[in-house]
Structure 1
C-alpha cells in the first residue's frame, strides 16, 4: 500500500500481525491470543511490530521513556495529511507528490514517531523536531538515523526558556504545520490518579511507560498548548497550520475558546478513536485564509459553538431542471462574472476566484460603466484580462453538479469573509429557484 494515501486505523488485526512479525508472534502465542496491555513488553512489541510491518520502520526506545501506540499517532498524521491536502494552493484537494512541505514536531520524544511517520509517508516532506530532554533527544536522533531519515530532519534540543516554536533557533522562516502530543497532566498527582483510573468508569486499557517530563507540565495539555497559542499570535502566518492533540475534550474546547477570543476565525477540529476506550481530540488553527472541508474541520459530537463555520453549501435541483441545464447555468453564470474561472465539463466541476462581491448589482453597474468608457473591444479585453490576472483573491470556491443526488455542491476554498461566502452561495442558489 502507498503510505502517502494509507487510511487511518479503524482497528488492528493482531492475529494477522503475529503472522507477519516473529517477535510479536511469540507474545501472541504466549498469551493465547489475549494480549496483556498492562505489560510494557507487550505494548512495546506491538508498537515495534506495527511500525515494521505497516511502515517499514525500526524502533528503539529506552525502557524509561514513552513507547507510543501507533494507531492514534498514525491517525493524527493522517489527519494532518488530509488537512494540508485540502488547503492546497492549487485547490486540487488531492495529494500532490511534488508539494514541498516542512513541519515541526514539538516534543518529538524518544521515538520521534510523528517525525518518522511524516517523513516515511510523504517523500517530499522535511521535518524539524525538538525536545528538551537529552535522553529522549538522543534516542530520537538514533531512530531517525537507523531508518535513513536523518538527512530530511532538522533536530534541536531546546531548553525551557526557549519558545515551543523556535523558528530562529531552527534557522527557518516558515513552516507548513506543527504537530504536537503535549504532556497531558498538570502534576505528578494528576498523572498517578489518571493511571489508576480515579474518577473514571474503568482503568486505562494500556500501561504508560512515559517519564514524568514527557507526561507532566504546568497546566497539563491546556497549559502547554496555551503557550503555543500565545506564540502563534506573534508568529501568525509564519506557520500555516498550528495543530495539537488533546487528552481531554475540555482542554480542546478551552483552546478553541481562546483562539476565538483572540480573533482567529479559521480553525479545524478532529478526533481520534481507534477503540479500546481511549479518545483524543485535535485542534488546528490558521492565520491564513485557506479553508479545509467540513469532513476534516468539523466533527459531529461537539457543540456547534466549537466548530468552524461550514465550508460546504449544497442544494437539490428543482424537478424541472435537468442535469445538463444545471451545468450550463453554472458555467454561463460564472463566465459573466468578473472572476478567474476554470470549468471541467467532464467532472462538471468549476473552480473560481473573486476579488470581492463581483455579483452585486452595484459592482456590475460600475464594471459595465468602466467597460463602456474604453474605446475599442481590444482595450476592453485587455482591461478585463489584466484586472483579473492581477486581482487579490478574497474568495475561492469550487462548484460541482452531483448527477446521482441531483445536487449543486459549493465548497469554500479560500477567503476570510464569512459574509462574502454566504452571499456567493445565496447568489448561486437563487439562479435555480422557481420564478
Structure 2
C-alpha cells in the first residue's frame, strides 16, 4: 500500500470528515456522534490523536488510560516552530532546512507518548533526540512508542529523578545540544489542577478532557516554576545549548519568563503563540546565549506587549513604485563591495550576505584605512576561519506587491551596530526618495506603528 506523505506544515484546523475517510477507528466515532465529537470522552480524544498521527505522520501510538493523551495540533505546531528556529539560525546562514546538518535535541519530560520526539524524528531523519522523564510508567511507554516506530536507535533515553538536573548533559553523554523542547506541568498543586479541569474562574470550560496524572500536571510553582528551573540551569550551561525552549500554559508565565531572561542579561530570545483552531491558547518561549538572530515572524507576535518582544531583526526601506530595481541592486552591491567586509552578491536573486568584524562603514574607520593605505600599513582581510563576526546580515531587493529593500539581521549581539548599518543603507536611497517628492520611512517588520530609525544617526534623517 502506498505510504501517505508526511505532513510538513502547521495545523490551522482539522477536517474531521476527511479524517474519518482515512482512518477506520475514527470513522466509527465520527459517525456514532453524527459529526459532533465529544471531547470530554477520553476514548474520543485518544482515537483522534492516534488517527492524526497515523494519517499525517505514519506514526503508531500506545498510551495508557491514566497518562496524558497529547493533542497533536499544538504539539506539532510547537515542533514546526522549533524546527524553523533551528533552520533560521544556521551557522552558515542558510535560510531553510539543511538535510546535511546534524542536530541534537532534548525532550524534557517526554511523557508516555514521547510525542515531541516522535514528530521531530519522523520529519527530520538526520536529527537525534535525547529524552528524559522522572515517571517510570511514562518512561517505559515512551520507550515502547519509540520502538514501535523504529526510532529507538535515534534516541538517547534517560530516566531521571527529582534530584537530577532538567538538562543532565553529563548523564546523557553529550557535550552540547542544539535545542530543548518541553511541555511542563501547568499547575502548582492538585487543587489548582482540579479547578482548571472544571473551568472554575474561566469564561468557558475546557474543550477537552485531561487524562494526565498528577506527576505530569503538577509541580511546585506550576509552569512558571518549572521553566524557571530551566532558565536557572541555562545561566550555568549557557552556550552548551543553542536554544532553550518550553511551552507555557499562561500568558502571565510567559511574561515572567521574559522578565527573568532580561533581568539576567539575556538579549536573544523568541516568543510565540499556539492557536491551532481551538479556544485553548499556549505560548512558547525560546532563548539563546549565542548571537544567531531568528526572523521576526518566529521571534515576535502581536498578542503581547512590546516590552516582552526581542529587538526586531528586519529593516524595510520602501522604494517609489517607479524605481529601477536593477539600479537599486547595483547601488547596494557597489556600495558594499567597497567596504572592508566579506560580501557576496547573487544578481539572479538580488540577494547578498555580508559579514563584518566591526563598524567598517563609519567615517572614522574609512579615514583610518585610507591613511594606512597611503602609509603602506593597510590591514589585510582576516581569513574566513579567523573572522570574528560582529554583524552578519542579508540584503534582498524585493519587487513583489511593493518595491522595497529588505535587510535581515542574521548574527550579532550589538544592537547599535545593527542600527548603524541599517542607517548606512537607508541613506543610499534617501536622496532618490526625496527627489521623487516623497518622505522616506524605513520600518522594522513587526515593530509597531512607529517607523524604525537607527538611534546612532537619528539626526541625519
The secondary structure found in structure 1 opposite 2:430 is: coil
C-alpha displacement of 1:320: 6.9
Counterpart of 1:427 in structure 2 is 424
1:337 to 328, 336, 339: 339
Counterpart of 1:403 in structure 2 is 399
Counterpart of 1:93 in structure 2 is 95
Are 2:124 and 1:122 equivalent residues in the alignment? yes
Q: Does structure 2 retain, via aligned residues, the 8 Å contact 1:72–1:273?
A: yes
Are 2:389 and 1:393 equivalent residues in the alignment? yes
- Against the structure 1 CA distance between its residues 42 and 391, is the aligned structure 2 distance closer, same or farther, given a 3 Å change threshold? same
For the aligned residue pairs, the C-alpha RMSD in angstroms reads 1.4
C-alpha displacement of 1:373: 3.1
Within a 5 Å distance, the mapping from 1:88-237 to structure 2 comes to 88-237=90-239
Partners in 2 of 1:149 and 1:63 — Cα distance? 23
Q: Does structure 2 retain, via aligned residues, the 8 Å contact 1:106–1:165?
A: yes
The secondary structure found in structure 2 opposite 1:431 is: helix
Counterpart of 2:451 in structure 1 is none
Partners in 2 of 1:30 and 1:319 — Cα distance? 58
Counterpart of 2:244 in structure 1 is 242
Q: TM-score by structure 2 length?
A: 0.91
Partners in 1 of 2:385 and 2:145 — Cα distance? 48
1:200-248 Cα deviation digits (max 9, x unpaired): 0110000000000000000000000000000000000000000000010
1:328-364 Cα deviation digits (max 9, x unpaired): 1100111011111110101100001011111011111
- Against the structure 1 CA distance between its residues 386 and 218, is the aligned structure 2 distance closer, same or farther, given a 3 Å change threshold? closer
Tell me whether 140-149 or 312-321 shows the greater mean CA deviation: 312-321
C-alpha displacement of 1:403: 1.7
C-alpha displacement of 1:388: 6.4
1:113-162 Cα deviation digits (max 9, x unpaired): 00110100000100000000000000000000010000000000000011
Partners in 1 of 2:282 and 2:315 — Cα distance? 28
C-alpha displacement of 1:374: 2.9
Counterpart of 2:328 in structure 1 is 326
Q: TM-score by structure 1 length?
A: 0.96
Counterpart of 2:454 in structure 1 is none
Q: Does structure 1 retain, via aligned residues, the 8 Å contact 2:5–2:56?
A: no
- Against the structure 1 CA distance between its residues 6 and 320, is the aligned structure 2 distance closer, same or farther, given a 3 Å change threshold? closer
Are 2:377 and 1:418 equivalent residues in the alignment? no
Partners in 1 of 2:144 and 2:120 — Cα distance? 17
Partners in 2 of 1:93 and 1:388 — Cα distance? 20
Counterpart of 1:53 in structure 2 is 55
2:80 to 78, 81, 86: 78
C-alpha displacement of 1:365: 1.3
- Against the structure 1 CA distance between its residues 320 and 19, is the aligned structure 2 distance closer, same or farther, given a 3 Å change threshold? closer
Q: Does structure 1 retain, via aligned residues, the 8 Å contact 2:258–2:308?
A: yes
Partners in 2 of 1:239 and 1:386 — Cα distance? 28
1:5-26 Cα deviation digits (max 9, x unpaired): 7110000111111111111111
Counterpart of 1:68 in structure 2 is 70
Counterpart of 1:302 in structure 2 is 304
Are 2:362 and 1:365 equivalent residues in the alignment? no
Partners in 2 of 1:33 and 1:255 — Cα distance? 40
Partners in 2 of 1:363 and 1:294 — Cα distance? 31
Are 2:5 and 1:9 equivalent residues in the alignment? no
The secondary structure found in structure 1 opposite 2:105 is: strand
Q: Does structure 1 retain, via aligned residues, the 8 Å contact 2:5–2:57?
A: no
C-alpha displacement of 1:387: 5.7
Are 2:353 and 1:351 equivalent residues in the alignment? yes
The secondary structure found in structure 1 opposite 2:21 is: helix
Unaligned 5+ runs, structure 2: 435-461
Partners in 1 of 2:18 and 2:383 — Cα distance? 60
Q: Does structure 2 retain, via aligned residues, the 8 Å contact 1:397–1:411?
A: yes
Partners in 1 of 2:372 and 2:70 — Cα distance? 63
- Against the structure 1 CA distance between its residues 320 and 11, is the aligned structure 2 distance closer, same or farther, given a 3 Å change threshold? closer
Q: Does structure 2 retain, via aligned residues, the 8 Å contact 1:185–1:221?
A: yes
The secondary structure found in structure 2 opposite 1:195 is: helix
The secondary structure found in structure 2 opposite 1:245 is: strand
1:286-314 Cα deviation digits (max 9, x unpaired): 00000000010000111000000000000
